[in-house]
Amino acid sequence: MKFTIIVTVLAFVFCGMVSAEDRANVEYLNSGKILPKGLPFSEAVRVGNTLFLSGQIGITPGSMKLVEGGIREQAKQTMENIKMTLETNGYTIDDVVKCTVMLADMSEWATFNEVYRTFFTKHFPARSAFGASGLATGARVEVECIASR
């Protein structure tokens, strides 16, 4: 229920910030470089100059296998996957304006932040973080982003 409300609110915000012309030219992007092809969602969606990234977890690119080592290693791989997805689509980490962070255990928030802050040198995007009772493939962290140029 809570998720449905959040998605509905985001849909209204999205529709208000993107022109009808941009909505008519939506691009659904799946490079296959990070997430295996054939999953039931797009790796990223471009609407005008805005790029919406699906949530990334700390998998080895091209597989669904989590990197070993726990939150620190998964956080680093997650952010590397985000960076690669951005670059594949012509964006950089500096174009990120919003991140949503989901943690399997909120007690790992400080460790995640140590890794996260190393990826942003010009500015920090707006961000939300919350605990989740289960992430894909048993991941410790998932991060989704919005980038804009």
76-88: per-residue pLDDT in tens? 999 999 999 999 9
Determine the distance from the C-alpha atom of residue 56 to the mean position of all C-alpha atoms in its chain, rounded to a whole number.
Answer: 5
Q: Looking at the predicted structure, is the pLDDT value of residue 6 above 50?
A: no
Q: Is residue 8 part of a domain?
A: no
Average pLDDT, the chain: 87
- Counting residues of the chain whose pLDDT is more than 70, the rounded percentage is 85
The three-class DSSP label of residue 59 is strand
Q: Is residue 124 part of a domain?
A: yes
Residue 7 binned pLDDT confidence (cut-offs 50, 70, 90): very low
Spell out the residues 6+ positions from residue 76 whose beta carbon is closer than 8 angstroms to its own.
58, 115
The percent of the chain in helix, strand and coil, each rounded to the nearest 5, is: 40, 25, 35
Q: Is residue 38 part of a domain?
A: yes
Q: Is residue 127 part of a domain?
A: yes
**CATH at residue 80:** 3.30.1330.40
Q: Is residue 136 part of a domain?
A: yes
Q: Is residue 20 part of a domain?
A: no
Q: Which domain holds residue 92?
A: 25-148
Region 27-37 average pLDDT: 84
Positions of E strands within 1-140: 27-29, 44-47, 50-53, 96-103, 126-131
Q: pTM for the whole thing?
A: 0.83
Region 97-126 average pLDDT: 97
Closest CA to 100 of 127, 75, 82: 127
Number of compact structural domains in the chain: 1
Q: Give 36-65 pLDDT, tens digit per residue.
A: 778 888 899 999 999 999 999 999 998 889
Determine the distance from the C-alpha atom of residue 72 to the mean position of all C-alpha atoms in its chain, rounded to a whole number.
Answer: 17
Q: Is residue 5 part of a domain?
A: no
Lowest mean pLDDT among 1-5, 60-64, 95-99, 111-115: 1-5
Residue 34 binned pLDDT confidence (cut-offs 50, 70, 90): confident
Closest CA to 98 of 43, 51, 32: 51
